[in-house]
Amino acid sequence: MTSGAATAGRAIVVHPVLPEDRAAARTPEASLDEAVGLAAAIRLDVVDARCVRVARVKPSTLFGAGAVDDIGAVVSGEEPDLAIVDTALTPVQQRNLERRWSVKVIDRTGLILEIFGERARTREGQLQVDLAHLSYQRSRLVRSWTHLERQRGGAGFVGGPGERQIELDRRQIDERIIRLKKDLEEVRRTRALHRGARERVPFPVVALVGYTNAGKSTLFNRLARADVTVQDMLFATLDPTMRAVDLVKGRRGGHRRVILSDTVGFISNLPTHLVAAFRATLEEVLEADVICHVRDISHPQSEEQSDEVLSILSDLGVAEDIPVIEVWNKIDRVDPETATALRARAARSDDIHAVSALTGQGIAPLLDRVSEVLGAPRERDEVLVPFADGRRRAWLHDQGVVVQETAEDDGHRIVVDWTKRQKDRFLGL
């Protein structure tokens, strides 16, 4: 339960245990705890939280009649301002539950949207939140409210049948969605220009990804000596942060200038249209030279959280050839015996590092490994690029791998000095 002087209201949280969830590795209690954490992220005072088993999904209310009455009794007793149902509700289910409980009801998607709307600071973040909000709102237009009756239209005294208010609302939303997508496309073009400028320098990109609250921002601050917001709260930071930094020296004494990217945290059951809306934010991950997958190794559901992150990375289309280093963060939060066992497991792999971003434990070996991966051996090759294939030639120059170039009868003969990964990417263009 949460409390505080500056609460945004009182809420109850209900996590439905659906039939398809019974075989899930994640426990209902862990899912409920996460939902309570999401509510706390927007300063809601959670006065009751419970898991409710659903034997068979009821199309009209999701829950069976008995469960609806039981939760209604809790609402009557606690008098919350809001009831949060930790799953995706259909518009009809949401409307019917509001009528039965006489309280505002939001589902998991609506809750995450509220958090995103409060956290977005940059113009890009706000545009993405607005787009996701409108896409969600469009699906909530149901033919049940009095203001959605047909409006009088046409000209003269009689007028035609006009259009329903629901159709007018939907059309207005569609027009705003089109405008937002155009604005976001401008943002993407600007981001692409910035990315092109970095590639010409070029600085490698190290992207920090992970489940929300895994400690990415704390690690970012330590590596970049920055001051990104850090709170023990889900989605404490939403907008991505990028810095050109000299990584703190590792044990081998070297340092390297890189672009360090701290991305928005992932979460289980992230709604599809939210992933789509924030795709532009996560484009830096797609172009990263190294991905550091930050895990809260002290969390009891760390393995399940890791699976969620890897699943979302796969959905985003992250190339399999991008090196991934697992960072087992918050090692300082586990008991000494467990910490020793975790360090022993990590030591068996070059790409797993047990660290504490808070205290600095294990950071030097992690930086050494990042430097090793970024300093992958290069080989010299010669390629012939036809004159008509300007895109591939431009890619080579953007990557900064061109050593020599001569024009011949059948194309550009280019001597390149590249890594195996760059070669594979070129061959796949």
CA distance 393 to 171: 45
The angle that helices 65-78 and 91-101 make with each other, rounded to 10 degrees, is 50
CB 129 within 8 A of CB 112: no
CA distance 154 to 292: 60
Furthest C-alpha separation in the chain: 86
How is residue 150 annotated by DSSP?
B
Q: H-type helices in 290-409, by residue range?
A: 302-316, 336-347, 363-374, 390-399
CB 301 within 8 A of CB 276: no
CA distance 56 to 64: 8
Token pair recorded at residue 400: 């900064």
CB 42 within 8 A of CB 118: yes
CA distance 152 to 156: 11
Digitized pLDDT (tens) for each residue of the chain, 429 residues in all: 444 446 778 999 999 999 887 667 678 998 999 899 889 888 899 999 999 999 999 999 999 999 999 999 999 999 999 999 999 899 899 999 999 999 999 999 888 888 877 766 667 767 877 887 887 877 776 544 344 344 434 333 333 444 456 666 777 888 888 888 888 788 777 766 665 655 555 678 888 989 988 998 889 888 877 555 545 545 545 556 777 777 654 444 445 678 888 876 777 776 666 665 566 556 667 778 899 999 999 998 899 899 988 888 887 777 677 889 999 999 999 999 999 999 999 999 999 999 999 999 999 899 888 888 887 777 889 999 999 998 899 888 877 788 999 999 899 999 998 887 778 878 877
Contacts 24+ apart (CB under 8 A), 268-273: 268/26, 268/31, 268/34, 268/304, 268/305, 268/308, 269/87, 269/88, 269/108, 270/112, 270/312, 271/88, 271/108, 271/109, 271/112, 271/132, 271/136, 273/132, 273/135, 273/136
Report residue 398 CA to chain centroid gap. 28
Report residue 397 CA to chain centroid gap. 32
DSSP for 236-283 reads S--S-EEEEEEPPP-TT----EEEEEEPPPB-TT--HHHHHHTTTTTH
Residue keyed to tokens 């939060």: 333
Report residue 314 CA to chain centroid gap. 13
In sign, the C-alpha dihedral spanning 90, 91, 92, 98 is positive
CB 260 within 8 A of CB 245: yes
Residue keyed to tokens 């928005």: 264
Give residues with Cβ within 8 angstroms of 179, minimum separation 6: none
What pLDDT score was predicted for residue 13? 97
What pLDDT score was predicted for residue 145? 39
Residue keyed to tokens 């990042």: 370
Side by side, which strands form the sheet with 104-107?
44-53, 9-17, 82-85, 104-107
Residue keyed to tokens 């789509």: 276
Residue 9, strand partner residues: 44
DSSP strand pairing (9-17 vs 44-53): parallel
Q: H-type helices in 120-202, by residue range?
A: 123-139, 165-200
CB 142 within 8 A of CB 91: yes
What pLDDT score was predicted for residue 122? 66
Report residue 364 CA to chain centroid gap. 28
Give Rg (Cα) of the chain.
26
